[in-house]
Chains A and B, each alone.
Chain A
Amino acid sequence: MALFLNGALNGADPWLGLPMYCWALILWWLIVMPAAWFILKRIKWDPFVKFHGLHYARKNDSSAAIIVDDMGDAEMVAEHIAKCIFSYGEDDYEIEISELPLHLIKIGGIIAALLGVILTFTGQILLGIPFILCGIIGYCINRVVPWIYAKPFWYPTKYLKDIDWQKAILYKIGKVNFDCKIAQLLQDGEWDQYPVVNCGGIPVEIVFDSNHWCERRSRQHKAIVKSTRPWNKDNPNDQIHTYTKYQRYLNEGKIEAPAEIKKDYLVPWVRIDLGLPFDLKNNEWAGKLAQMAKTKENKPSGEINKYTLWLIIGGIGSFFGILIIRTFFKLVFH
């Protein structure tokens, strides 16, 4: 038997007698791959943690949003985090399954399982075990079929009917988020979008979230979700799926604000006067003007004269250089 590469990697190790390529493969998957994964993540992904929303926005084909809280802490998130109250992917769904003759399949399962047991006891174990397994699956058909349906099921297809199954599987594997499209649909197209700037081809909105409503793990967010569900159940034609609509209904008194949240934010006059000053006076930046004047005064002489020293050094260097060349030529040619 001719060994690949003349057996260069088939050398047996002294401990278990395994060929070296086995160890190479084991080390590759146990050390190299996890290390590469970790290092690349640390270098290429983690430093930009506050801007990951830009990536998710591109993936979801949505806009991004810079969320700023009352302390000025900001983060760039994908649109669904800034706007949608619900995470539809986390909801439980009753999947519609085509009707099956469940009783017949269950009876068939019981028969197959019994047959498998008999075969096993008569010594035909290899034949008996598959029969038993088929029997169990047949008996639990009402659980197995939904499980199979749920695996390739991608939650937005429940709401959005124009997604074909190939795209659904691709989007499911890619973990694409369609919450914005679903929320928009459930609110009869009502949607607020105010892009302020463009960042890498993605429209970016600025959101002031004074009370941390948009933080998925905050108690405020959980309270909003809790208080919105009964409303949506009672008002299927006027559902609330976005924070703006929720805020509007709070202001209109249609919904009672949960104890955990504040429905408004007070901007004090000190802040307002600093943010939108009546008249900016020159004396507020007189120091800057003085600095500019000083820089200007020093500029004409400073600009050109900074080369003076280099010119003198260059002259002296040239002097010795020319002397050396002349001496060399004299020694060689005379």
Chain B
Amino acid sequence: MPVNTTLNGTVQAIINHTAPVQLTANPIPTPIPAGLTTTALDWQPIPVFGVPLWAIIAVLSFAALVIVFLNWSDKSRDLDAIKPWFIKVKELALGKMQVIRLSRAGNFIPDCLNIFDNVLSYGDSEENINQWLLHSPQGVIRIGGISAAIISEDSDHNRDIVTEMAICHAAESLNENIEKLRKELNNRHKKLVDTGEYPEDAENPANLIQPIQNGLDYIGQKNDDTDPIFEKSGRMVLQLLYPDGIHMPAINYFNQNRFRKMWFKGNTSASLGGENLRIVDDEYVKKNDKQKGFFEQYGAMLIAALVFLGCLIGAAAIPLG
């Protein structure tokens, strides 16, 4: 059988020189230059863009770093409100103290105040005259190694919330059981008078026991115009009932509505600061100190101003050679 019968038309045309020769060949892969190498990570999942797998992994790795940064930044941002606590601590130096101000407006404000003679103040500030007496050493808490007194605008001394809670617990207990207590005291008084141990005109202690409804009752002051009388104070009654001190529950949640009633009205920090300013003006600063003469106050400055003007005029007037 002749060979050309087995060939197709195209090949036969080429053999017969009746058609141009068109050779097709598979492309030869470009050789990798010397010194370079590849791995499976050079596979291009999206061939159009020519981006290999390792480049995608690299981008994802960088994204992971960004996510780590955002994670910690986001967590840290939640704590922005307390960061002044640590910013203020940098101001701590001799004569300064950190405080937590529980404002009546309901804000938690870390601050750093001047302290002198146990009085916390904003120093020479004329804008903020509030002052607090650091009366209770137990009214100081420590967070993260930093001590801070708890203060609020409506009290002229630092606040010891444990004391406030203890008095309130004791006062409420007294108020609840006052009738029973009076009855017992009355019976005992009657018994002692009957046996002759007490004189007949001895005062019945049941009459001294009064409920403690507020701060004035606690200090034994009838109203704002009278002086406190210790013998008629709730403080004295409580000490008779609890000679060692007041027992309170081991765990307590500070309820302002409940414990606030023991505060004294009007004794605010601004009142203390204002009163101190008045006392200083009226009693401490001498009259002649307060009314200094013009030259005493501005003399040095006036001379300096004259020197300044003299220099200007002199420099302008001196003839240049």
Is B18 part of the binding interface, using a Cβ–Cβ cutoff of 8 Å? Answer: no
In the complex, the chain B residue whose C-beta lies closest to that of A48 is: B79
In the complex, the chain A residue whose C-beta lies closest to that of B71 is: A40
* Structural contact, B251 and A288, CB atoms closer than 8 A: no
A residues engaging B (CB < 8 A)? Answer: 1-4, 7, 9-12, 17-19, 21-22, 24-25, 28-29, 32-33, 36-37, 40-41, 43-45, 47-52, 54-55, 58-59, 66, 68, 72-76, 192, 194-202, 204-211, 213-214, 243-244, 247, 251, 261-269, 271-272, 274-280, 282, 284-293, 295-297, 299-301, 304-305, 307-309, 311-312, 314-316, 318-323, 326-327, 330
Question: Which residues does chain B contribute within 8 Å of A37, judged by CB atoms?
Answer: 68
In the complex, the chain A residue whose C-beta lies closest to that of B286 is: A297
* Structural contact, A284 and B118, CB atoms closer than 8 A: yes
Question: Which residues does chain B contribute within 8 Å of A204, judged by CB atoms?
Answer: 108
Interface readout for B266-302 with A: 1 if CB under 8 Å, 0 if not?
0100001000110111001100010010001110110
In the complex, the chain B residue whose C-beta lies closest to that of A203 is: B106
Is B307 part of the binding interface, using a Cβ–Cβ cutoff of 8 Å? Answer: yes
Nearest first, the 9 A-B pairs at minimum CB distance are A275-B163, A200-B81, A275-B160, A287-B117, A293-B284, A315-B308, A322-B315, A315-B311, A44-B76
**How far, in angstroms, from A9 to B277 measured CA to CA in the complex?**
75
Known A25-B57, A194-B255, A276-B163; 16 more pairs at CB < 8 Å? A1-B38, A4-B44, A4-B52, A7-B36, A19-B37, A25-B61, A45-B75, A48-B76, A59-B78, A197-B106, A205-B254, A244-B251, A251-B249, A287-B116, A315-B309, A318-B312
- Report the count of interface residues on B (CB-CB < 8 A): 123
Question: Which residues does chain A contribute within 8 Å of B41, judged by CB atoms?
Answer: 21-22
Is B54 part of the binding interface, using a Cβ–Cβ cutoff of 8 Å? Answer: yes
In the complex, the chain B residue whose C-beta lies closest to that of A72 is: B141
In the complex, the chain B residue whose C-beta lies closest to that of A296 is: B285
**How far, in angstroms, from A74 to B121 measured CA to CA in the complex?**
24
* Structural contact, A12 and B106, CB atoms closer than 8 A: no
* Structural contact, A267 and B248, CB atoms closer than 8 A: yes
In the complex, the chain B residue whose C-beta lies closest to that of A290 is: B284
Is B206 part of the binding interface, using a Cβ–Cβ cutoff of 8 Å? Answer: no
Question: Which residues does chain B contribute within 8 Å of A73, judged by CB atoms?
Answer: 141-143
* Structural contact, B159 and A307, CB atoms closer than 8 A: no
**How far, in angstroms, from A189 to B295 measured CA to CA in the complex?**
75
Q: Known: A280-B157, A288-B276. Contact between A12 and B36, CB under 8 A?
A: yes
B residues engaging A (CB < 8 A)? Answer: 29-30, 32-33, 35-39, 41-42, 44, 50-52, 54-55, 57-58, 61, 64-65, 68-69, 72-73, 75-76, 78-83, 85-86, 102-103, 106-108, 116-119, 121, 124, 131, 133, 135-144, 147, 156-157, 159-167, 215, 218-219, 228, 230, 235, 239, 244-257, 262, 267, 272, 276-277, 279-281, 284-285, 289, 292, 296-298, 300-301, 303-305, 307-312, 314-316, 318, 320
Q: Which of A22, A33, A76 lies in contact with B39, CB distance below 8 A?
A: A22
**How far, in angstroms, from A209 to B141 measured CA to CA in the complex?**
13
Q: Known: A207-B254, A285-B276, A286-B117. Contact between A318 and B311, CB under 8 A?
A: yes
**Secondary structure call for the A interface:** helix
Question: Which residues does chain B contribute within 8 Å of A210, judged by CB atoms?
Answer: 250-251
**How far, in angstroms, from A301 to B291 measured CA to CA in the complex?**
11
Question: Which residues does chain A contribute within 8 Å of B44, judged by CB atoms?
Answer: 4
* Structural contact, A10 and B37, CB atoms closer than 8 A: yes
Question: Which residues does chain B contribute within 8 Å of A264, judged by CB atoms?
Answer: 247-250
